[in-house]
Amino acid sequence: STGAVRMQPKAEELKFVTKNDGYVHIHPSSVNYQTRHFESPYLVYHEKIKTSRVFIRDCSMVSVYPLVLLGGGQVRTQLQHGHFLISLDDGWIRFQAASHQVAELVKELRCELDQLLQDKIRNPSMDLCVCPRGSRIIGMIVKLVTTQ
| Alpha-carbon 64 to chain mean position | 5
> Using CA atoms, how far apart are residues 61 and 50, in angstroms rounded to an integer?
21
Query: What is the average per-residue pLDDT within 103-131?
Result: 94
Task: Tell me the pLDDT tens digit for each residue of 14-54.
Answer: 889 998 889 999 999 998 898 888 888 899 999 999 999 99
Q: What is the pLDDT of residue 117?
A: 94
Q: Where are the domains of the chain?
A: 11-62, 65-146
pTM of the model: 0.77
Task: Tell me the pLDDT tens digit for each residue of 85-104.
Answer: 999 988 888 889 989 998 99
